Amino acid sequence: MVSVTIDNITKRFDNVVALERVSLEVRKGEFFFLLGPSGCGKTTLLRILAGFYQPEGGRILFDGRDVTDVPPHKRNTGMVFQNYALWPHMTVWKNVEYGLSMRNVAPEERRHRVTQALEMVKMEGYVERSPNQLSGGQQQRVALARALVIEPDVVLMDEPLSNLDARLRLEMRQQLQELHQKLGVTMIYVTHDQREALAMGDRIAVMQMGRVAQVDHPRALYARPNNRFVADFIGEINLIGGEVTVADGEILSVSTSVGEIRGQASEDGLQKGDRVLCSMRPEALDFLRGEPSEGENVVSGQVRQVIYLGEVEQYIVELVDGTQVKMVEYDPMEQQAKVGDEVRLRFRPRRVVILPDEGRARAEAI
């Protein structure tokens, strides 16, 4: 179990900058996620941690020891690949044993550790099968056992569940969490699946175009994104543009085309006159019924779409300025409104996060 320091890492492929001065701290025993869309640099960073790529600048440290120039086989990391990368001509036992054989571990010790690793992933009954005789979920568990059997300091996972169906992904998520809690080993996991990261991660680094957009605990990332990209990428979000009219304390007032909206600033330094975006999750909106038409964070609109999904009902409401917002009702016993109904919505100031309108600021600068 080690800490991992990523210090100002830069990586280029020809003229393309894949990573630009990325710095992160992963704590000992942490289940840390690198989350982002395709092409954001997360897999490149994972391969630099494994030693498969060399950075143009920066350092990688394990427990303060510089391993930037240490070859992959001397870093003591276990890697779980997206496509499993099992040897097709070897049995399950031989696949898991391979890393120990390469390290010249004594036969008796090898037998003990392979048995233990296969038991951890519940694959001890498949030792004589070849990979092509296994399901996708079983192959993934063998790949995980192969990574764990060498007793690595850090386990690196590159979208390991992306090839599994939805039900298997849920099962494997639970198994991975249980293994992490049992072993306490540092794990760094790459994914583009927000739900996967939110459900499993101790902390998450959201990456955008080779940079780190935000690092935080799952609840904080979801509830308090610090920019539009993070708000858009994690979960669903409603955005209403406006201008700060009162910046006094933690709660800001914003003038918008649908009325005044009050909410919490995503960062310090927002001032009166700044162009901003008021962001709200769909579950932060409520229907107002039988109450005064005016009040804090009350807006009017018309229902454009109703989507019933069993445990949840979604409403698309068009506000007076034409902006469409989504709201959800959980465990709906009956439909709250029909298409075409005029409705009023309310959202609480502490569920509204005020973000800087970076796109507007760039356009005005040009």
Q: So where are the chain's domains?
A: 4-223, 236-365
What CA–CA distances, in Å, run from 283 to 3, 211, 351? Answer: 37, 30, 9
Topology given in CATH for the domain delimited by 236-365:
OB fold (Dihydrolipoamide Acetyltransferase, E2P) (2.40.50)
pLDDT (tens digit, 9 = 90+) per residue, 298-334?
999 999 999 999 999 999 999 999 999 999 998 888 8
Q: What is the largest CA-CA distance in the chain?
A: 78
Q: What CA dihedral angle connects 292, 298, 304 and 306, to 10 degrees? A: -80
Contacts of 309 (CB under 8 A, 6+ apart): none
The number of angstroms, rounded, from the C-alpha of 270 to the middle of its chain's C-alpha atoms is 27
Residue 59: count of CB within 10 angstroms of its CB:
15
Residue with tokens 């694959």: 123
Q: What is the CA radius of gyration of the chain?
A: 25
Q: Going residue by residue through the chain, which has 366 residues, state the pLDDT in tens, using 9 for 90 and above.
A: 899 999 999 999 999 999 999 999 999 999 999 999 999 999 999 999 999 999 999 999 999 999 999 999 899 999 988 887 889 999 999 999 998 998 899 999 999 999 999 998 889 999 999 999 998 888 988 998 999 999 899 999 999 888 778 888 888 888 889 889 988 999 999 999 999 999 999 999 999 999 999 999 999 999 999 999 999 999 899 999 999 999 887 889 999 999 999 999 988 788 999 999 999 999 999 998 766 555 678 999 999 999 999 999 999 999 999 999 999 998 888 888 999 999 999 988 889 999 998 765 444 433
**Whole-model pTM above 0.85?**
yes
Nearest to 35 by CA among 267, 242, 233: 233
CATH code for the domain defined by 4-223:
3.40.50.300
Residues 221 and 206: beta-carbon distance below 8 Å: yes
What pLDDT score was predicted for residue 366?
34
Structure tokens at 168: 């298997």
The DSSP 8-state label assigned to residue 234 in this structure reads S
Q: How far apart are CA 96 and CA 110, in angstroms?
A: 10
DSSP H helical ranges for the chain: 42-50, 92-102, 107-120, 136-149, 166-183, 194-200, 218-223, 228-233, 358-365
For residue 186, the number of C-alpha atoms closer than 13 Å in the C-beta half-sphere is 17
What single-letter amino acid sits at 218?
Answer: P
Q: Is the torsion defined by CA of 263, 230, 225, 235 positive or negative?
A: positive
Instruction: Please tell me the distance from the alpha carbon of residue 210 to that of residue 216, in angstroms, as a whole number.
Output: 18
- Fill in the amino acid letter for 231: A
Kindly tell me the burial class for residue 318, based on how many C-beta atoms sit within 10 Å of its own C-beta (0-12, 13-18, 19 or more): middle
Predicted pLDDT of residue 294: 59
